[in-house]
Structure 1
Amino acid sequence: MKTSINFKVAKSDSEIHNFRKKSFDYIRKDLTHKNEYWMEQKIADRVQKIESYCKENSGRKLQKNAMPVREAVVVIKENTTMQDLHNLSKRLEEELKIRIFQIAIHKDEGHYDKDTKEWKPNYHAHLVADWQDLETGKTLKHQSFHYSKMQDLAAECLEMERGVSGSLARLEAVEFKIKKREEDLKILEERYRQMQQEMESKNSEEFIVKESDFLGFQKIKTDKTIENYEKAFKTNNIQLLKNKTELESKEKHIAELKTKIESLKKEVLFFKSKNSALLTNETVFAVEKKKYMDSVENTLKKAILQESIKIPNLQNLNDTELKDKMIEIIEKTSKENNIPVSAFEEVFRISEKQINLFSLLRFDHRENKASEQNKVNSTKDNSLNIESQIMKEPEERKGFKR
């Protein structure tokens, strides 16, 4: 299954659609509960923040025709998780400076097959992004190869045609496309040639309209003859122009596909080399493991921020209640993102990370940030035994399985 990602300017009703704030006639309400949502900030608030930063950084207002917030629809699999999309968001930020601040996974859209009446789901996700360059304050400027990179990142992070086998599959698909386009090009060229020959060999007598006078002599009817010529030239010129445009379009597409095929060949070699290094080089393996653990920690942090907003009277919870909440969040994150519990255990083995995660949960984002450090300090002494509570007492946590 192939994926794709394409950013366009965010619509004014994006949040209404993405977060299902009203009912739509093209969705299956019985499947809406399978949707997943994550929001760091509302679009209106982010736009205001972007405009303020632009004026502060560049001394000028954001241009009226700027598109500082954009949205992409990403094709996903049925088992694509929120963590996969957070990983994609992280890569987009690291490599292309695109910062995702809203994610919505939709599994309630699709259509019924006309013949079989079978439901054909359209699994996809909406990514809403901040398109501001933090160095200049202006909107990001990307070239065509950047948009190609977006497709590569989506395929890699969502594990759709990733690695050696995926690259080879895409390679074969692109080669097939090139062959088909070249065949189409030959047909168009032949049609174009025939049209030109037809125009050159057209018997002018066919366009001439004659009529007999009262004596029986044939006379040319000028107005009708001119009209026939005009119609013929107009029709043929339109067809010739259309064929010429199609030819140019096909040639351009073939050139783009050939460029892509070279890129995919390089990607195949890269993944072969990477796979070999993972199997034989301990250092490379360690680096890849660190990347994975960082993504697990990043997903947990986002989940903690999201869940902490929903906890009433957060500031009044005692240490035991906070630990219970943390384990609930871990259980939920593990289940929704298919992350093994052992990965979370690995994170909590590092006391500094453990303290930071608890301070993140304990800090009430509805309060003034000035109190944050006090909460971190009060958390430090009581959070260190979370690892043992996770690893030594799993039987007491129903559903929290290794």
Structure 2
Amino acid sequence: MKQRFFDDLFKARKVRQMNERKTAINNITLHTKIAKSNVNFAFSKPHIFYHNTRDEMPSYALSELKELNSCSLSSDEAQNKFNGLLAEARKNYYERTKQKIQTKDEKLRISAVININENHTLADVERVAKKIEEKFGIQVIQCAIHRDERHFLKNENDEYVLDERGNRIWDLNLHAHIEFFALDKNGINRYKKRDWYKMGKELQDIGASELGMERGKDYAKSGQKAPKGLNRRQYATKRAIEDRQKVKIKDLNAINNELREHLKQSGANRSDYAKLEQEKKRITPKD
């Protein structure tokens, strides 16, 4: 276990070095960010075990980075574990109720996609999975980390976001998958979507606590409505644009302060200050 931890930590650091080398060669900016904790659940796709192990390589993943991924079980091992959990649940449920489980097979597997940062390992993800299992009764099947996905950032108009040199920007899509079995050992369905939507706050708390990450915004506490769901690419693009705007605003404020100090030393009047504020407002990025 100790050796696996160090191997996985090495992979987490290696992906940064490989990407920086490739971006330098291709004259491409690499967008980095410290992600906030986020845990999203959905019913699993039929091929999810193969997706997680990369037995089925998606078009948006880079084959040369495949070796940097981590997975707790092979696709066959995960499928066998699912089959075993299902057989146990069916047996126990029938012994208790003398009835068969009514939940459809496609509703028995659920996937959690979790934000991670470069330092996180498979052991960290497995710790989150265990906490969720203990708290809510769903059973862990497979955990995986994907470090081989990235894309060129685009804005809302489907145009590439460029850096100060006019180069396109690569955004790493670091994330983890946890596959769960929806029934507990007694065959009781522990995943009903309407209930889990209400329990979202607890899930985000678990993710933030176990991964040592800043928690995502608590919309319930702030009284604001949560934004409509975005897919991973839309979310990454939105965050990248926001980050770049924050940097620009920070630089702009620094320049504005210098100019105000210069006006002060020059004995400027109120009209001069008003013109400066007007110009600052004109060039400040809009939300």
Q: TM-score range by the shorter chain?
A: 0.5 to 0.7
What is residue 11 of structure 2 aligned with on the other side? Answer: none
- Secondary structure of the residue that 2:183 maps to in structure 1? coil
What is residue 271 of structure 2 aligned with on the other side? Answer: none
The answer to whether the Cα contact below 8 Å between 1:47 and 1:69 also exists between their aligned partners in 2 is no
Identify if the C-alpha distance between structure 1 residues 173 and 102 changes in structure 2 by more than 3 Å, giving closer, same or farther.
same
What is residue 188 of structure 2 aligned with on the other side? Answer: 138
**2:150, 2:85 → 1: CA distance?**
31
Deviation at 1:93, TM superposition (A): 1.9
Amino acid at match of 1:30: E
What is residue 138 of structure 2 aligned with on the other side? Answer: 98
Aligned equivalent of 1:147, options 200, 205, 221: 200
- Structure of higher CA gyration radius: 1
Please tell me whether residue 121 in structure 1 is matched to residue 172 in structure 2: yes
- Secondary structure of the residue that 2:180 maps to in structure 1? strand
Identify if the C-alpha distance between structure 1 residues 173 and 47 changes in structure 2 by more than 3 Å, giving closer, same or farther.
closer
Amino acid at match of 2:43: V
Please tell me whether residue 158 in structure 1 is matched to residue 211 in structure 2: yes
The answer to whether the Cα contact below 8 Å between 1:57 and 1:137 also exists between their aligned partners in 2 is no
The answer to whether the Cα contact below 8 Å between 1:161 and 1:170 also exists between their aligned partners in 2 is no
Deviation at 1:64, TM superposition (A): 4.2
What is residue 86 of structure 1 aligned with on the other side? Answer: 126
The answer to whether the Cα contact below 8 Å between 1:58 and 1:137 also exists between their aligned partners in 2 is no
Deviation at 1:2, TM superposition (A): 1.1
The answer to whether the Cα contact below 8 Å between 1:99 and 1:130 also exists between their aligned partners in 2 is yes
C-alpha RMSD of matched pairs (Å): 2.7
Please tell me whether residue 54 in structure 1 is matched to residue 93 in structure 2: yes
Deviation at 1:45, TM superposition (A): 4.2
Amino acid at match of 1:3: S
Number of corresponding residues: 172
What is residue 191 of structure 1 aligned with on the other side? Answer: none
Tell me, which stretches of 5 or more residues in structure 1 are unaligned?
163-168, 179-252, 255-402
Identify if the C-alpha distance between structure 1 residues 30 and 4 changes in structure 2 by more than 3 Å, giving closer, same or farther.
same
What is residue 4 of structure 1 aligned with on the other side? Answer: 38
Deviation at 1:173, TM superposition (A): 12
> How does the TM-score come out when normalised to structure 1?
0.39
Aligned equivalent of 1:26, options 38, 60, 66: 60
The answer to whether the Cα contact below 8 Å between 2:49 and 2:78 also exists between their aligned partners in 1 is no
Aligned equivalent of 2:69, options 31, 35, 54: 35
**2:55, 2:212 → 1: CA distance?**
30
Deviation at 1:56, TM superposition (A): 3.2
The answer to whether the Cα contact below 8 Å between 2:37 and 2:115 also exists between their aligned partners in 1 is yes
Deviation at 1:24, TM superposition (A): 2.3
**2:175, 2:118 → 1: CA distance?**
9
Deviation at 1:92, TM superposition (A): 0.9
**1:65, 1:172 → 2: CA distance?**
33
Identify if the C-alpha distance between structure 1 residues 118 and 143 changes in structure 2 by more than 3 Å, giving closer, same or farther.
closer
What is residue 15 of structure 1 aligned with on the other side? Answer: 49
**2:51, 2:138 → 1: CA distance?**
22
Identify if the C-alpha distance between structure 1 residues 147 and 54 changes in structure 2 by more than 3 Å, giving closer, same or farther.
farther
Tell me, which stretches of 5 or more residues in structure 2 are unaligned?
1-34, 154-159, 227-287
What is residue 147 of structure 2 aligned with on the other side? Answer: 107
Q: Which moved more, 1:80-89 or 1:138-147?
A: 138-147
Instruction: State percent identity of aligned pairs.
Output: 28
